[in-house]
Every structure is written in structure tokens, then in C-alpha cells.
Amino acid sequence: MNHSEIVSFIWGVADLIRDTFKRGKYQDVILPLTVLRRIDCVLAPSKKEVLVANAKYKKDLQNLDPILRKASGFAFYNMLQH
């Protein structure tokens, strides 16, 4: 997907939700969703490693956060299943 397609997609989503929110408020939703999507894309390459680490250690440890952050290579990680 090139830059123009991404921009068109984002504005298309904005147009879809425009009438759902009060005029001038939909940008309060679009920006956070755009940021969340970007974070999801950044974390995609390490998601499998995070899920494997979670499955491996979840029964033995209460605080998996340091292990999952190390598996992702970032200060945050994604374990959501699509």
C-alpha cells in the first residue's frame, strides 16, 4: 500500500464515522485510532515471539511484562488476537 492509498483509506474511515460523532469531534477518534494502528504495524514482526513467550511463562510467572517487552524489542507489546 503506498502513501496515497493509506491517506485515502484514513479519510474514508473518517468520512464513515463523521456523522457518528458531533461535528468537530471525530478527529478526537481518528488520531488515536491511527496511532494505535501504527503501533500495531510496528509490533507486527515481534508479535509471534511475544505470544510464544507468553505461552511459555504465563503459568510460572505473575509479572510477564519484562519478558514480553524483551520479546517485542520495545517498551510495549501486542498480544491481541485478530
Digit-coded pLDDT (tens) for 14-51: 777 777 777 777 678 778 888 888 998 999 999 999 99
Predicted confidence band of residue 82 (pLDDT cuts 50, 70, 90)? low
pLDDT at position 64, please?
Answer: 94
Question: For residues 71 and 75, what is the distance between their CA atoms, to the nearest angstrom?
Answer: 10
Give the residue extent of every domain in the chain.
3-72
- C-alpha dihedral over 51, 57, 59, 64, to 10 degrees? -80
pLDDT at position 65, please?
Answer: 95
Contact between residue 47 and residue 71 where contact means Cβ atoms under 8 Å apart: no
Number of alpha carbons in the 13 Å side-chain half-sphere of residue 17? 15
Digit-coded pLDDT (tens) for 60-73: 999 999 999 999 99
